Every structure is written in C-alpha cells, then in structure tokens.
C-alpha cells in the first residue's frame, strides 16, 4: 500500500495556480467547495468544480488537484459510509459550513439532506478513457486506442499528463475498488468477487486489494465498515 495522506476535517484554503500532487486518503470524505474552483483528476475520473459542488471520495481513492486563478476554499467532512457517486451539488454551501462550525456530524446530515448528484461532463479523450476504464476494468487499452484513432503510446502519455498515473494503473485501481465494494457488502465468496471484479483469479485480487488498502480481502469480507443504514437510505 502506498503512503496515505491524512485528511483533516474542517475548512482549508488554496492559493491561485497551486497544485497538489497525486496522493491517497484512507478515509471517505466530502469536499464542499465554498468559493473558487479547481480540477481534480483521480480514481473516479476528472471533475471540474466550482462553488456549491461537492466532491465525494471513497476510502483509498487517489487524486491530483490543480487550482485556478481564484484559488479555492474547501470544507472537508469525514464520512463513515462509502459514497455511491463522485460529484454532487448543494444550493447553499455556506449552510453546510455554518453547521460544521457547531457540529460536523450535523453538517454531514445537512449535506446528505440537501445534496443532489451530478453526472460530470467528459470534455476530451482522457475523460472518456477514464470513464470507459471505470465501466469496464478489463478494457484492452490497445483496442481502445485503435477505435479512437490514437496511438497506444499517445494514449499512455496523454492520460498520465492529466491523471498523474498510467491507464494500466488506473485500470488496476478500478478493479481493486470494485472488489473492495463487493467485499464490504459481504454477500459473495472471494472466488465470486474476484470473477465479478475482473481478476484472473483470487490470488490476483488478494494482491491488488492488499496494495490498495494494506489489508487482505478476508479482512474486508469480515468488515462492515462501509455498510450502514445511512448508506442504504441516502444512496
């Protein structure tokens, strides 16, 4: 498992034109954009966000952030559940911020009660490739490049420029996250989960989940860490 970056609950400000290199958090959390805007490229694709948008991160997601000329002010709220979508919107983010000053738990409840999901726009081929890899973690990169009129080497270099990781690594992470979701649901065997997540065999899945999380699939199969009534009700 790569080193994890701690996510601090509360507000933070980022200056204009700065960037945060590729990093990974061990906790699920929501980032409510209070002002400004930035681009985030990570495990769930590329998002371009503004005031009122909410980025929802699963545990062990990784991403890189690039801030615009206005910088950004962000409110981070830790989540106990695994979000089912990556981008949301709230009409008045300051309501969430005021609630967080008094009670972060109440702020999360307010966020869930007022947030709607958004389907992100896909502006170019790196966006499309990320989406296709998430939909089909067994996607053959050479075949995808040919269908889209691109050289395989161009796809690899261009994707890495945007996402700070290779298409193959992005695909491997998508498989591991898929397996993690099935493992924490606890409704299938390890063999069944490995097949459903697109792994060649159970051993392959064990290595991938271990690299992503630092724990074996058996650990997550026994865990209900992400499975709460709130998850079922809100998502």
pLDDT in tens, 29-44: 999 999 999 999 999 9
For residues 85-93, average pLDDT = 97
In a domain, 49, yes or no: yes
Are 71 and 144 contained in the same domain?
Answer: no
Indicate whether 233 belongs to any domain: no
Measured distance CA(110)–CA(32) in Å, rounded: 12
Residue 233 pLDDT class (50, 70, 90 cuts): very low
Tell me the per-residue pLDDT of 185-228, one tens digit each, with 9 for 90 and over.
Answer: 877 899 999 999 989 999 999 999 999 999 999 999 887 554 44
141: nearest Cα among 198, 178, 160, 132: 132
**135 and 54 part of one domain:** no
* CATH classification of the domain holding 74: 2.60.120.10
pTM for this prediction:
0.89
Q: Which of 117, 145, 160 is the last residue of a domain?
A: 117
**Shared domain check, 106 and 52:** yes
Tokens of 214: 């630092």
Residues 133 and 169 in one domain: yes
CA distance 115 to 95: 12
Query: What is the domain count for the chain?
Result: 2
Count Cα atoms within 13 angstroms, Cβ side, for 90. 27
Residue 22 in domain? yes
Q: Find the domain containing 16 and state its range.
A: 10-117
Q: 104 near 77, Cβ under 8 Å?
A: yes
Distances (CA, A) of 3 to 60, 123, 155, 173: 10, 31, 27, 15
């Amino acid at each position: 498992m790569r080193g994890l970056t701690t996510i601090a609950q509360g507000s933070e400000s980022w200056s204009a034109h700065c960037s945060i290199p590729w990093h990974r958090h061990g906790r699920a959390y929501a980032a409510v954009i209070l002002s400004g805007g930035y681009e985030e490229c990570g495990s769930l694709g590329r998002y371009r966000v503004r005031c009122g948008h909410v980025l929802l991160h699963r545990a062990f997601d990784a991403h890189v952030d690039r801030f615009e000329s206005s910088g950004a002010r962000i409110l981070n709220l830790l989540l106990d559940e695994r979000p089912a979508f990556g981008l949301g919107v709230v009409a008045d983010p300051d309501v969430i911020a005021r609630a967080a000053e008094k009670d972060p738990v109440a702020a999360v409840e307010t966020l869930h009660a007022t947030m709607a999901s958004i389907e992100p726009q896909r502006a170019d081929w790196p966006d499309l490739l990320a989406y296709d890899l998430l939909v089909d973690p067994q996607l053959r990169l050479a075949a995808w490049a040919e269908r889209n009129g691109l050289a395989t080497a161009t796809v690899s270099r261009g994707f890495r420029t945007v996402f700070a990781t290779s298409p193959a690594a992005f695909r491997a992470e998508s498989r591991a996250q898929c397996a993690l979701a099935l493992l924490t649901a606890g409704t299938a065997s390890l063999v069944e989960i490995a097949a459903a997540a697109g792994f060649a065999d159970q051993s392959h899945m064990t290595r991938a989940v271990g690299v992503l999380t630092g724990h074996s699939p058996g650990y997550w199969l026994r865990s209900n860490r992400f499975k709460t009534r709130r998850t079922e009700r809100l998502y």
